[in-house]
A = this chain, B = another copy of it.
Amino acid sequence: MSLTVELLATGDELLTGQVVDTNSPWLMDRLWDAGVMVRRKTLVGDDRTALEAALRETIGRADLVVMSGGLGPTEDDLTAECVARVLGVPLELHAPSLAAIEERFRRLGRPMTPNNAKQARFPRGATVHPNRWGTAPAFTVSVGQATLTCLPGVPAEYQGLAAEVVLPWVSARLGAVPAARVLKLIGIGESAADQAMRPVMDDPSWRGVRFGYRAHFPEVHLKWTVDPPDAEPRAAAIEAAVRAIFGEAVWGGGKEELAALVVARLTARGQKVALAESCTGGLLASLLTAVPGASAVLDLGVVAYADAVKADVLGVPGALLAAHGAVSEPVARAMAEGVRRAGQATWGIGITGIAGPTGGTPAKPVGTVHLALAGPGGTQAVARLYRWGRERVRVAAAFEALDLLRRALEHTP
């Protein structure tokens, strides 16, 4: 069966550009996985007339309206009041919610204001959903053919309650759970990935499967959603076909992160990596150290912008720098080997390049990057010419270095 879903968000801060509504894309993504494309999304301010008009319109058109915002304790928070007026019912105190709010304030040791009691008043007939992430409970009402669920706007509360209330309701109404898969690629652009995916996407066996991309520069994430029957085995068969096409460019899937994967693999082996960064300037170190537990695998990172640092701290021979220049394969190799030695690590990474916007030459244009990985089996190097601006060159180079290590770990027993 099909289901018409609309999203409605309220809040002046959303209409002044002060806050970007990230809740809606979050829910849209999950509804798409569940088999529903949202029909329309509406944003209105904290204004009774505008909000009531938007409520009437959306519940007149949709099977399900998911509204967010306006459940706080202040005068600007109008949701319960406006819903009650649109339904033509009074607001009623919900004793369990009041008790929960009182209990929350007691636990936090903060005084409860009379305003907070407002958050326990709901339109008569509403089903109240306790909020385990904050103060304001959510609620659902039925209006004619439509169901209206009102969630708080705070992202953690919105997402927690949407996952607990909205998604199960949608799945129950649809009566069938699609299977969704994400595979994550690195080292291939979105249009090349799209080209390579064509045989799978055009395969008549997979008619009705929803394929999509999520660009997470410099990664490309491939996504597909398969409806029943046989959703899981069909999704798995597509995964096998996609992996066969992209091979090692698929580094993972689902919610995995590349840096966390590399940290986990190094930790499992009791190995460490040391980093010598020039053009990425600490970005690779920062990606790795953002992962909890990274201290088990990283002792030393060096940001070596100056030739003197490359020579003194990393032991890159002055003759090499003079002969090839700092942005060269021999220097990248010497940086990787030098930092591996200095850090007494199993692996050493060296990155040197020209991030721009200045510093390029005809022989070494902006975007030229040399990456090297020194390890137990010797040192390998790759050269890249990225055709983007400074920040993307740095990000691409840092991820490519991570990926070099990821591939080496896969190939080293």
Contacts and interface: CB of A to CB of B under 8 A. Distances in A.
Contacts of A74: none
Given A15-B38, A17-B26, A41-B42, A286 B289 contact: no
A282 B29 CA distance: 33
Q: Is the interface of A mostly helix, strand, loop or mixed?
A: mixed
Nearest to A356: B292
Interface centre among A22, A286, A306 (most CB of B within 10 A): A286
A191 to B, nearest CB: 13
B300 A309 contact: yes
A286 B292 contact: no
Interface stretch (A43-51, A91-99, A167-175): A43-51
B32 A17 contact: yes
Interface string A1-43: 0000000000010111110101011111111100001111111
A391 interface: yes
A37 B12 contact: yes
Contacts of A29: 16-18
A312 B341 CA distance: 13
Q: Among A17, A28, A31, A45, which residue has the most Cβ atoms of chain B within 10 A?
A: A17
Contacts of A390: 290, 292
A138 interface: no
A32 B31 CA distance: 32
Interface residues of A, number: 70
A395 B172 CA distance: 42
B42 A37 contact: no
Contact of A16 (B17, B22, B212, B359): B212
A186 interface: no
A42 B39 contact: no
A136 B302 CA distance: 46
A303 interface: yes
Contacts of A300: 302-306, 309, 313
10 contacts: A16-B28, A16-B38, A18-B29, A39-B44, A40-B45, A40-B50, A41-B43, A281-B288, A282-B282, A300-B305
Interface of A: 12, 14-18, 20, 22, 24-32, 37-45, 50, 54, 212-214, 275, 277, 280-286, 288-290, 292-295, 298-306, 308-309, 312-313, 342-344, 356-359, 390-391, 394
